[in-house]
Structure 1
Amino acid sequence: MDTPRETLEVGKKLVEFCKKGENMKAIDQLYSPEIESLEAMSMPGMPDTVRGLDAIRKKNTEWDQAMEVHAMDVEGPFPFGDRFAVHYKFDATNKKDKKRMKGEEVALYTVRNGKIVKEEFFYSM
């Protein structure tokens, strides 16, 4: 099990990547091949749970292709043992229907052996 300090370092690196909009670099460098990603609910074309690096990359690519992000605020990490939370706020427009939306979510990440093995997203619906 990682120490709280090691978990904090992974969290800091993730937040740094996200603030720069470098999500794919974060995935490549910080995520375990056995990563599991859980959303609060499934959406059309996206299940609530995906596993593996390829599935995580696909999920992120689909978001980038579907949304124009005007602003992204990333706060954290907030560590606790082998986990840390990050608070995200975004302002984005759906490229298909041109609907602009603002949202926020909290993500909880679990770290093992210096890699993120699980991400869970919490948001209001």
Structure 2
Amino acid sequence: MEMQKDTLEVGKKLVDYCKSNQVLKAVQELYSEDIISQEAMESPEMPSQVKGLEAIKKKNKQWEDSMEVHSSQVDGPFPLGDRFAVHFKYDTTDKKTNKRWQMEEVALYTVKNGKIIKEEFFYTM
């Protein structure tokens, strides 16, 4: 499978935005209107799957509002065909419970026509 040029370009832009803490800007610029986001687990506040650009913006805003991020590490992109993976590590505190915890996840993104059409998050809690 040949790597598509736009997949790597989109992946690099996403990683740059994440490293500079501009996730909502990345969503606005790089995501398809019909984006599907799949989490490994659901929570009372958020279903495991959400669809559409506005739902993704809401999901990311909720994360920003509920978590204090002390540090983050973003590695990638790691491309293959029309997909790329990114490895994230976070040191966070939940603003509601004041509980501090470390999180690690791998995200798999699918690109079509220069836009991210699907994101999938792999992690354990």
| TM-score, normalisation: structure 2 | 0.96
- RMSD in angstroms over aligned alpha carbons? 1.1
Equivalent residue number for residue 48 of structure 1: 48
> Aligned equivalents of 2:14 and 2:59: distance in 1?
17
SS in 2 for 1:47: coil
> Where does 1:1-125 land on structure 2 (aligned, <5 Å)?
4-125=4-125
> Aligned equivalents of 2:11 and 2:62: distance in 1?
24
Equivalent position amino acid for 1:111 in 2 = V
Q: Does the 8 A contact of 2:36 with 2:51 survive in 1? A: yes
Q: For structure 1, list consecutive stretches of 5 or more residues without a partner in the other structure.
A: none
SS in 2 for 1:41: coil
Equivalent position amino acid for 1:85 in 2 = A
Equivalent position amino acid for 2:89 in 1 = K
> Aligned equivalents of 1:42 and 1:74: distance in 2?
23
Q: For structure 2, list consecutive stretches of 5 or more residues without a partner in the other structure.
A: none
Counting matched residue pairs gives 124
Moved over 2 A (4+): none
Give identity over the alignment, percent.
60
> Aligned equivalents of 1:38 and 1:29: distance in 2?
19
Equivalent position amino acid for 1:17 in 2 = Y
